[in-house]
Chains A and B, each alone.
Chain A
Amino acid sequence: MIVAEAKTLEEILESLQGMSKVLVVGCGGCVSVCLAGGEKETGILASTLRMKRELMGDPLETVEETLTRQCDPEYVQQLAKKLEGIDCILSLACGVGVQFLAEQFPQTWVVPALNTLFAGATMEHGLWEERCGLCGECVLARTGGVCPVIRCAKSLLNGPCGGSQNGKCEVKPNECAWQLIYNRMSELGRVELLLEVAGAKDWSKSRDGGPRKMVREDVKIDG
């Protein structure tokens, strides 16, 4: 899932300066699961903003709505009938959702309420960790299911840097990804796989040269 966290109240207030009626839109997807932008968080943020602005002597009216997803046009279109008299949309989705709203409603000012952090998972309630760097060419088959691109601080692809101490990374107080890879490969009796040298990774499939696109002719409906 995409993991995100709330922006500071100050930053949100600043982006709502001069707005008197705001449509606060939550998302029922990833940000609901990571407790950043679901229906509950939308309610809390809207209430916080209303109280704050009232005490600032500049009351704010809010309309709250939580869509099933903000990254699908059919859900986003449901907002069309709520836009009357609205000065701005405050979106609690990830960056994709915010952009989608802006694209679907070209006449409406849209601002984000969250900072989008990473693709990760819930390790325990209240703790999320990054697991994939969306590199476009997955190497997990060679590394025993531990991602060296995102879990190694240097994204090394052919073994550790040499700075690993007692299983800990020398850069951050995390576990060394290559220690994890080695442990797992030995437990599964496949250490010899690590002797294979990985050639240069094709980073053109990653964040390079603008936004990536994926086309599947077999599932297209028109054309």
Chain B
Amino acid sequence: MEKRESGKTESFYPKIIAFCCYYCAYSAADLAGSLRLQYPPAVRMIEQPCSGKVDIRLLLQAFEDGADGVYVAGCMEGDCHFLKGNIRAKKRVNAAKKILDKVGVGGERLEMFNLSGSMGPRFAEIANEMTERILRLGPNPLNTARAERATKGEEGDPK
């Protein structure tokens, strides 16, 4: 990514988890690779048999474990290999967004995307889009809170 945040978050480079359906996004990523398209290394992909495999627990866990952003990439609506997996994934993503808003992590850090296996360039575009969004939002507040606590702990250490 060209742009890095300045000032306090200068050293911030996001960690983004992409839950990718094997039938579309995962193949699109392959295609993006064959086409030698660049996309940010901030994105770490996790292959899923279907976007509908992703449940709310998994999405929350990614954030709890320190991801700055998460997205689920499934097939175009109407094209799911398992008929409705991507529609269910969308509903779960929306429910998890609400939880993240309530918690204070922020639902904006989570997104659902739809693409097909032949959309290599779109895959790279989504990765860029998400990385830019997370750079703008800054680090996962949980990471900031943990870092602050760790520093305080060190300072508060008697020796």
A residues with CB within 8 A of B: 9, 40, 43-44, 47-48, 50-52, 54-55, 57
Q: Which residues of chain B come closer than 8 Å to A51, judged between CB atoms? A: 60, 63-64, 103-105, 142
- Tell me the complex Cα distance, A48–B63, Å: 10
CA distance A9 to B100 in the complex (A): 12
Give the number of A-B contacts (CB < 8 Å): 39
Residues of A contacting B138 in the complex (Cβ-Cβ under 8 angstroms)? none
Contact of B56 with A52 in the complex, beta carbons under 8 Å: no
Cβ contacts under 8 Å, B99 to chain A:
44, 48
Q: With A40-B55, A48-B99, A48-B103 known to touch, is A54 a contact of B145 (CB < 8 Å)?
A: yes
Which residues from chain B contact A43 at a C-beta distance below 8 Å?
A: 57
B56 touches A44 (CB 8 A): yes
Q: Is the CB of A55 within 8 A of B55?
A: no
Please list 14 pairs of residues, one from A and one from B, whose beta carbons are closer than 8 Å in the complex, sorted by A's number.
A43-B57, A44-B56, A44-B57, A44-B99, A47-B57, A47-B60, A47-B61, A51-B104, A51-B105, A52-B103, A55-B103, A55-B141, A55-B145, A57-B145
Main secondary structure of the interface of A (DSSP, over half): helix
Contact A52 B102 (CB under 8 A): yes
> Chain A residues with Cβ under 8 A from B4's Cβ?
none
Identify which of A9, A40, A50, A57 contacts B64 (C-beta below 8 A).
A50
Name the CB-closest residue of B to A47. B60
Distance of A51 Cα from B56 Cα, bound (Å): 14
| B133 located at the interface, meaning its Cβ lies under 8 Å from any Cβ of chain A in the complex | no
Shortest distance between the CB of B110 and any CB in chain A (Å): 13
**Most chain B CB atoms below 10 A, which of A47, A51, A57:** A51
Give Cα distance in the complex from A50 to B56, angstroms. Answer: 15
CB distance from B89 to the nearest CB of A (A): 15
B53 part of interface (Cβ distance < 8 Å): no
Question: Interface 1/0s, chain B 6-49, versus A by CB < 8 A?
Answer: 00000000000000000000000000000000000000000000
Instruction: Encode B86-114 as 1/0 by CB contact (under 8 A) with A.
Output: 00000000000001001111000000000
The yes or no answer to B136 lying at the interface (CB within 8 A) is no
Task: Tell me the minimal C-beta distance from B3 to chain A in angstroms.
Answer: 27
C-alpha spacing A44/B57, complex, angstroms: 5
Q: A51-B64, A52-B104 given; name 20 further pairs at CB < 8 Å.
A: A40-B55, A40-B56, A44-B56, A44-B60, A44-B99, A47-B57, A47-B60, A47-B61, A48-B102, A48-B103, A50-B64, A51-B142, A52-B102, A54-B145, A54-B146, A55-B104, A55-B105, A55-B141, A55-B145, A57-B145
* B145–A47 CB distance below 8 A: no
How far is A52 from B141 in the complex, measured between Cα atoms in Å?
A: 11
Least CB separation from A49: chain B residue: B103
**A57–B152 CA distance with the chains assembled, in angstroms:** 12
